[in-house]
Amino acid sequence: MKTEKTLAATEEILIVGAGVVGASVAYHLTQLGHDRVTVLDARDCAVLPGSTGLAPGFVGQLSATSELAVLAKDSVATYRALSETGPAAAFCQVGCLEIATTPARLEQAHQDVEHGQHLGIEARVLDTAEAVALAPTLVNAERALGALYIPSDGAADPVALTHALVDAAEKSGALFRFNTPVLALETERGRVVGVRAGEDGKLLRADQVVLATGIWGPILAANAGVQLPMVDVQHPYVFTAELPELDDTPIDAPIVRYPDQAVYTRRHGRRYGLGSYAHAPLPLAPSLTLASAELPFQETDFGTAIAEATALVPAFREAPRGRRLNGVFALTPDEIPLVGPAAEVAGLWFAEASWVTHAGGVGRQLANMLLETGNLLVDPERLAPGRFATWSDDKIRETALGHYQGIYDAH
């Protein structure tokens, strides 16, 4: 992997994207004392229509991939610290229930307890009655044979969380420039020197540029001659209407997952929300003209999966339906984010293909890499954006899409 010289305190770091990942990078850079940080985003500061604004906010730490578990654990630590000093709703550590509906899944739950011990994540197996007692509106008592319970997991409000990261970074010296779309990267003699931004395409110079633009990352990277090995996929999430029996409490029960059915669900204040991976993956080729990561809901592609999911979760059986959204997120061939420097272009860095689950840890990892503190969470080679450099576009696409319905086993 290409190494960068240690940054001087006077070097300008420019981050493209003020979603939860870009805001996390800025936050951790300023926490480490580097205040020469500017963040650009095409959106208004009060609006988050990109991937962040559509995220369901599940923060689960236990993973078959140790790097993801480490990043998620660090994210929980970051989010807890922010919620203690900022809006409490930004992150609620309510725990997670993984519902076992088959004997094999129940056996897997016992194995996951041991796996969690190795990762430093507390987990235990509950019987059906214990699981139902923790989340009676979300646990299907007729199908559940038991559940894996991870008490330190939680649920984030991605918008509130991102604003908390932005506020903390601004207070420590970072500059956020909203309503400033980035049109292209500017390079000279194999090095990035800044970006073209705004309606007039003005050159904004920087010593280091970080792309944290989610599904739009490959477009800007290609502009600099760099292939980002990620595929954007569409995903359904639906809400109930606001229910009179619920108050404004953001969430008061664990998030709930049904791994065998590829379904997950949680409370969102006066509504419940639910998502499903039990459908054929729908890739998307984004463009810079795509203003939001939300697309029209695909009834023909999502309808059956959502119908089966809502029949599974008690809260959805009789409740009137509310908003339905089709959000887009990025997948990599190994489901691990792309974090680190571009091998092809000096001064260009990536924090891409990360979920809210890992954004806190990704921000800390990249900040420490940029400043060369030596305090890395995971081996940077495991996150290196160029780790699939020998793969064809077709292989990257097929492998990434092949993981879509198996996301539960990796996360």
Looking at residue 192, its pLDDT comes to 96
Per DSSP, the three-state class of 334 is coil
DSSP string, 9-35: TT--EEEE--SHHHHHHHHHHHHTT--
Domain region containing 251: 94-152+231-331
Q: Do the domain assignments include residue 312?
A: yes
Per-residue pLDDT at 48 exceeds 90:
no
Instruction: For residues 248-275, give the mean pLDDT.
Output: 96
Q: How many CB atoms lie within 10 A of CB 13?
A: 25
Kindly report which listed range (81-85, 96-100, 256-260, 358-362) carries the lowest average pLDDT score: 81-85
DSSP β-ladder status, 263-268 and 271-276: antiparallel
- Cβ contacts of residue 30 below 8 Å, gap of 6+? 37, 168, 169, 172, 173, 174
Q: Which of 134, 168, 153 is nearest to 92 (CA)?
A: 153
Q: Are 41 and 28 in contact (CB under 8 A)?
A: no
Among the listed residues 235, 228, 234, the one whose alpha carbon sits nearest the alpha carbon of residue 343? 228
Question: Does 387 score more than 90 pLDDT?
Answer: yes
- Identify the band that residue 283 occupies on the pLDDT scale cut at 50, 70 and 90: very high
**316 or 87, which is more confident:** 316
Does residue 68 form part of some domain? Answer: no
Is residue 320 domain-resident? Answer: yes
pLDDT digits over 205-232, tens only?
A: 999 999 999 999 999 999 899 999 999 9
pLDDT at 263 over 50: yes
Domain-located, residue 58? no
Q: Is residue 315, in this structure, part of any structural domain at all? A: yes
pLDDT above 90 as % of the chain: 84
Domains held by the chain: number: 1
Instruction: Report the alpha-carbon distance of residue 74 to residue 377 in Å, rounded.
Output: 8
* pLDDT above 60: residue 112: yes
165 touches 356 (CB < 8 A):
no
Is the pLDDT confidence value at 13 over 80?
Answer: yes
Considering only the C-alpha atoms of the chain, give the largest distance between any 2 of them, rounded to a whole number of Å: 65
User: Would the pLDDT of 50 be above 90?
Assistant: no
CATH number (domain holding residue 98): 3.30.9.10
Give the DSSP H/E element, type plus range, for residue 117. helix 103-119
pLDDT at 9: 58
Indicate whether 160 pLDDT > 60: yes
pLDDT at position 29: 98
Mean pLDDT comparison of 36-50, 142-156, 279-293, highest-scoring range: 142-156
Say yes or no to pLDDT of 337 above 60.
yes
For residue 85, give the amino acid letter.
T
Under a CB-based contact definition with an 8 Å cutoff, are residues 331 and 230 in contact? yes
Q: What is the reported pLDDT for 411?
A: 43
Q: What is the pLDDT of residue 45?
A: 83
For 103-127, what is the mean pLDDT?
97
Q: Using an 8 Å Cβ cutoff, are 114 and 148 in contact?
A: no
Q: Is residue 322 part of a domain?
A: yes
